[in-house]
Structure 1
Amino acid sequence: MAATADVVVAELEAERSPDALAAVRGRLTPDEEAFGVRMGTLFAVAKRHTGLPLAEVVRLLAHPAFEPRMAAMCILDFKARRKRPGHHERGTLARTYLGHHDRITTWDMVDRAAPRVVGLWLVGRDKHLLHDLAVSPEPLRRRTAMTAPLGFLGTDDLEAGFDVAALLCADPDPLVHKPVGIFLKHAAVHDAARVSEFLDEHAGQMKRPVVRLAVEKLGPQVRSRWV
């Protein structure tokens, strides 16, 4: 069968599971549709359809149920992972994600795609987009702002992630402040001194679980300064 959104949806519907539905429902709004597909199965379906044309990915994003939209995020991520995608292709993937952000309804949809689809595209580019997202009234857009910089790890753009973290470290919403801790934890592998400097300045504004997450990769003597 030709690769279409309808084929992907049919494959997902064939994998319905009452147990999976109960697990999925726990992170959806009461009126949000879902099939009930295990995440490992959903990822496998999406990976089989990495070559799905972007117009069909957009059709998945328009679907009312969670799983087709999550599959769309996975497909965008798998496309971004391909060896040496051109800059034009990266831009197209990122614009597809950002242009349909209203179809993102859960934290794991953000986490699946933002680092490679948005973050890697922004390496070497102006970061004003992240600052715009960081001041959005919508928590999931702010989560994108903080999760995309995971794509900066190991690049000269790492400091831009600390800039976003400074904007969001005191955010009251767990959807937003937890990714601050996740970014700092992974950034510590690349620049522990910069993470320590960040915590010296901002730890007092941060929730204690976020600080504990942020220091996980730091040495015991350094961690003891904050936890």
Structure 2
Amino acid sequence: MHPAAAALVDDLQAYADPAAVPGRARFFKSGPGEYGEGDVFIGATVPQVRAVLKRHRELPLNALDDLLASEIHEHRLAAALGYARAYADAARSGEELAMHDVYEHYLAQSTRLNNWDLVDCSAEHVVGPHLDVVGTAILDELAASPLLWERRIAMLATFHRIKRGESADALHVAELLLRDPEPLIHKATGWMLREVGKRVDESHLTAFLDAHARGMPAVMLSYATERLTPEQRAHYRRLRTS
């Protein structure tokens, strides 16, 4: 392991809490046959992981790669947050090559971004802004992946542009994922649709629902319509099953 990664691991170990491990394992569905099967926890909290990462500013990408290769969930969380920080630092400095390096390292290790929190804390901050550089074809590629986590990266990456007031990419990826079999994709897609209605324009959301609510997974529709009126929610529930 890279010395900088090893130093962070040693620092993080001080926050290990064996009593918290069973609860973390249940929360992140790490049991047999569950989406996080085999994940290992030390019991550190997200604020603790963030605090440790803040104390370790000098983490080259190779060190982040080593952290992401760890079987320990909290090590991988530190890596995911570290990639997001590294991209933001490079963007602030206008270092285009460094930005692309972070993006390349991140996607090269995507099989290790293997739980929803790891994707959700990083995809919009690495893949999202880099769409301005590489274009949006990567979203189609990720959305077509057999890997659940890459499909979630595709959906969450659009949050960056949603926050800029742009809905087209989110609606495009949502349409690609309408028939996805995974509940975690239903939730992520419904969440991003809801954010389109909240942050961009409610009419963009309702137009999408008018076209696609019929047959939409129930959880996806529930998440997407959470901020609509009771009458609107009832209308789309009826439309879904019509």
TM over 0.5: yes
Report how far residue 154 of structure 1 moved: 3.7
Match of 1:150 in 2: 159
* 1:37 lines up with 2:44 in the alignment: yes
Residue 84 of structure 1: aligned partner: 92
Q: Does 1:60 align with 2:67?
A: yes
Deviates more, 1:24-33 or 1:65-74: 24-33
1:185-196 paired onto structure 2 within 5 Å: 185-189=194-198, 190-196=200-206
Farther-moved stretch of structure 1 (54-63 vs 180-189)? 54-63
How far off is 1:144 after superposition?
0.8
Which among 70, 82, 88 is matched to residue 77 of structure 2? 70
Q: Which residue of 1 aligns with 2:193?
A: 184
Distance 1:30 1:147, change over 3 A: closer
**How many Å separate the matches in 2 of 1:182 and 1:216?**
9
Contact 2:177 2:189 in 1 (8 A): yes
The structure-2 alpha-carbon separation of the partners of 1:20 and 1:42, relative to structure 1 and needing over 3 Å to count, comes to farther
- Gaps of at least 5 residues in structure 1 are none
Question: 1:147 Cα shift?
Answer: 1.0
Offset, 1:79: 2.8
Paired AA for residue 73 in structure 2: F
For residues 104-150 of structure 1, the C-alpha deviation after alignment (integer angstroms, 9 at most, x for no partner) is: 22111111100111111113642111111111111111111111111
Aligned partner of 1:173: which letter? E
For residue 174 of structure 1, report the CA deviation from its aligned partner: 0.9
Flag the 1:147–1:221 CA change in 2: closer, same or farther, 3 A.
same
Match of 2:222 among 191, 212, 223: 212
CA distance in 1, matches of 2:158, 2:184: 16
- The whole-number CA distance in structure 2 between the counterparts of 1:85 and 1:226 is 46
CA 1:34–1:123 in structure 2 vs 1: closer, same or farther (change >3 Å)?
A: same
Quote the offset at 1:64 in angstroms: 2.3
Query: How far apart, CA to CA, are the structure 2 residues paired with 1:205 and 1:47?
Result: 45
Aligned AA for 1:45? V
Count of equivalent residues: 226
Residue 50 to residue 73, structure 1, CA distance change in 2 (3 Å): farther
Report what 2:33 is aligned to: none
Query: How big is the shift at 1:50?
Result: 4.1
Alpha-carbon distance between aligned partners in 2 of 1:173 and 1:74, rounded to the nearest angstrom: 25
Q: Which stretch of structure 1 is more off in the superposition, 109-118 or 52-61?
A: 52-61
Separation (CA, whole Å) in 1 of partners of 2:40 and 2:122:
21
Query: 1-side partners of 2:123 and 2:38: how far apart?
Result: 25
Q: CA offsets per residue over residues 153-211 of structure 1, 9 Å max, x none?
A: 14375301211100002212012111101101111121211111110111113122221
Report the AA paired with residue 169 of structure 1.
L
Note if contact 2:167-2:204 (Cα within 8 Å) is conserved in structure 1: no
* TM-score of the aligned structures, taking structure 1 as reference length: 0.89
5 Å-filtered alignment, 1:1-227, equals 4-26=4-26, 27=28, 28=30, 29-82=36-89, 84-86=92-94, 87-123=96-132, 125-155=134-164, 157-189=166-198, 190-219=200-229, 221-227=231-237
CA-CA distance at 1:25 after TM superposition: 1.6
